[in-house]
Structure 1
Amino acid sequence: MSCEHLICARCSNPVVDGRCPTCREARSELHRHGPSVPPSVVLAGLVALFFVALVLQRVYG
């Protein structure tokens, strides 16, 4: 979602302009990007852990 088409309920201006504190907060909330890991990397890690578990089970089981 982008803030280009959002209108602030407080000042009735586009949120992308950031004219009031409410606009600026909404804009920063929409553009906040935390550290995210692509799903393919998570899946590859899970597959690797599964194979390690299989090998350990075969060696010690």
Structure 2
Amino acid sequence: GANVHDSQVLPKLLHGHETRYWGDSAYTGQKQIARSKAPGIKDFTNIRGTRSHALTEEERLTNRRKS
């Protein structure tokens, strides 16, 4: 429903035969969950910056390509 965060539904979105997945920063850190459902999956989610570590120009460009 509307009250469920995007990252909480990842296991329900995967059928198990995926080789790659993309997502916005809400999916950052979900690699283990994705691999438990689809063992060979590769994570192409955007990199998220933090207050203490801003994204580099290269990371921003990488995110732009992924989006």
Normalising by structure 2, report the TM-score.
0.26
**Bigger radius of gyration among the two:** 1
User: Which has the larger strand fraction?
Assistant: 2
